[in-house]
A and B are shown apart, each in its own frame.
Chain A
Amino acid sequence: MARKEINVMTGEITEHADDAPVIHVQTPQEKRAYEYPSIGDQLDALYHAGVFPTDMANAIKAIKDKYPKE
């Protein structure tokens, strides 16, 4: 049975065979967008990979040094 119906006045639950219609099938891009790491985590990985321009890397490092991890 694919659908439950609850009569809120009687509390009776009836099961029906029909399905809820498919309204939208998510695209792979939509599924990816939901599960990608945050932009911050992606940028942090790039920083640690050493691919940022020197001035940007220095600016980031200055902030990391200002608030060191405990």
Chain B
Amino acid sequence: MGDLMTCKINADTSNGLKFVSDTSGAVEIQTNGTTVATINSNGTVVIPTVTNGTAVATTSGTAVDFTSIPSGVKRISMMFNQVSCNGTAPRLIQIGTSSGLVTSGYISSGSHQGATQTGAQSTAGFLCGNGGAVGDKTVGIVTIQTLGSNIWAMQSSTADGTANFTKTGGGSITLGGVLDRLRLSTTSGATFDHGSVNIAWEY
């Protein structure tokens, strides 16, 4: 980082500092053209803490990769909107660093609950449940959060949408570096054919 420009305002008093908007508009703090904090005229303070990525249609392909996730992110959520594929396998999430996706070493298991219940384990990725039918349209959220030291934990809670099943999963893994990407796929390499997915991240 280069030298910072320092702007001192009324810095020689111990009485604090007051920003005044002389109209009824909001007061915004911006950096690089982006508003990072807003104080509205009604007194509410808005500091966005969740950033959404770009929603992607899961209507083709066998995987969706989200890359260039900013460093310093502590929690990532993946939101499923009726994600369907042409196979019966559960959804799988892998995370990685600038060196690539990590495809082994996960401690993860998932299960489904409904008319029947079964579970499974995976070392190849975070398992978001177990089992499935071709017509399943996954809805819900998966959360991946760091403990620090590049250790990440995952929990998933989704539903099939078109069937009376819920699916849960959990897992953890230690990465060799800073997380900057993740992949949604299935264990079977099935092709996505419906819905959309997005991620959001928090610092």
Contacts and interface: CB of A to CB of B under 8 A. Distances in A.
Interface of A: 1-11, 13, 15, 19-26, 30-31, 33-39, 41
Contacts of A30: 118, 120, 131
Interface residues of B, number: 39
A37 B114 CA distance: 10
Interface of B: 53-54, 56, 60-70, 88-89, 92, 103, 112, 114-116, 118, 120, 122, 124-125, 131-133, 183, 185-189, 191, 199, 201
Contacts of A1: 60-61
A47 B200 CA distance: 50
Given A34-B88, A38-B116, A6 B133 contact: no
Contact of B65 (A3, A37, A38, A41): A3
Given A6-B67, A8-B69, A20 B62 contact: yes
10 contacts: A1-B60, A3-B64, A4-B56, A6-B66, A8-B54, A8-B69, A8-B70, A26-B188, A30-B120, A34-B116
Contacts, number: 103
Contacts of A9: 68, 70
Given A6-B67, A20-B189, A11 B54 contact: yes
A69 to B, nearest CB: 20
A25 B62 CA distance: 15
Given A8-B66, A20-B189, A34 B61 contact: no
A34 B69 contact: no
Contact of B54 (A3, A13, A37, A41): A13
B64 A19 contact: no
